[in-house]
Amino acid sequence: AQSVSQHNHHVILSEAASLELGCNYSYGGTVNLFWYVQYPGQHLQLLLKYFSGDPLVKGIKGFEAEFIKSKFSFNLRKPSVQWSDTAEYFCAVKGGADGLTFGKGTHLIIQP
Amino acid sequence: DAGVIQSPRHEVTEMGQEVTLRCKPISGHNSLFWYRQTMMRGLELLIYFNNNVPIDDSGMPEDRFSAKMPNASFSTLKIQPSEPRDSAVYFCASSLLAGGQNEQFFGPGTRLTVL
């Protein structure tokens, strides 16, 4: 069975700080990896995804993530966060099964 | 496109009552997923359909939960009888096909409270 671990449940940063949210997965085969964001009161939206090719993927709103196969990791990064990035961030993996397996989420708060 | 549509957005009911959650996937999508989000367990896949056929319902917590997809544009998730521990946000998602490189698009969710 596949699983996803997000290291930080709550992160508080100031505007313009750099962000890195950790995500590790467990699955022995080929995986597809995703980061979703859930803004307050809104539904899940896809930030970025990795299927194959360049392990550094760029998503919307200046986010990027790097797939490191040897570390089973897919960390999310943004060089300079904004107040509007306050949200819940979910890492997800799709391996053998077709449904997504999500991490518990990281609640990010950006202080102005 | 209106995206994935779910109704109701909020539901408050009493323990023992039947609850029916509804979902309309994005037109043209062949796969539909039901997820549940709780503080304790996060987001969990309950069941998914390909071309209206249930493929994997191993995530359905117990027999009180059932899901149907009578046609390509409509699905229901029913809880009968409901219990307080069923309180959660239930998300529906759809994609072109369950496999392959297809993104799942999520609906706004139904926040269920069972008293």
Q: Which residues contact A33 (CB under 8 A, 6 or more apart)?
A: A23, A25, A49, A50, A65, A67, A74, A91, A92, A93, A94
CB contact under 8 A, A102 and B43: yes
The minimum CA-CA distance between A110 and chain B, rounded to whole Å, is: 21
Question: A89 and A106 in contact (C-beta within 8 Å)?
Answer: yes
Query: Which of A42, A98, A105 is the closest to B55 by Cβ?
Result: A98
Among A37, A38, A44, A60, the residue to mutate for chain B (most B Cβ within 10 A): A44
Question: B47 and B60 in contact (C-beta within 8 Å)?
Answer: yes
Q: Of B72, B98, B79, nearest to B36 (Cα)?
A: B79
Q: What's the burial of B109, exposed, middle or buried (CB within 10 Å: 0-12/13-18/19+)?
A: buried
B59-69 pLDDT, tens digit per residue, is 898 899 999 99
Q: What's the burial of B20, exposed, middle or buried (CB within 10 Å: 0-12/13-18/19+)?
A: middle
CB contact under 8 A, A43 and B106: yes
B5-16 pLDDT, tens digit per residue, is 999 999 999 999
CB contact under 8 A, A100 and B45: yes
Q: What is the pLDDT of residue B99?
A: 61
Q: What is the mean pLDDT of residues A39-57?
A: 91
Q: What is the mean pLDDT of residues B49-68?
A: 92
pLDDT score of A65 more than 90: yes
CB contact under 8 A, B42 and A101: no
CB contact under 8 A, A100 and B31: no
Q: Is the peptide bond before A112 cis (omega within 30 degrees of 0)?
A: no
What is the C-alpha separation between A19 and A5, in angstroms, rounded?
18
Among A98, A101, A102, A104, the residue to mutate for chain B (most B Cβ within 10 A): A98
Using beta carbons and an 8 Å cutoff, which residues of A are at the interface with B?
Answer: 32, 34, 36, 42-46, 49, 51, 90, 92, 97-105
Q: pLDDT over 70 for what percent of chain B?
A: 96
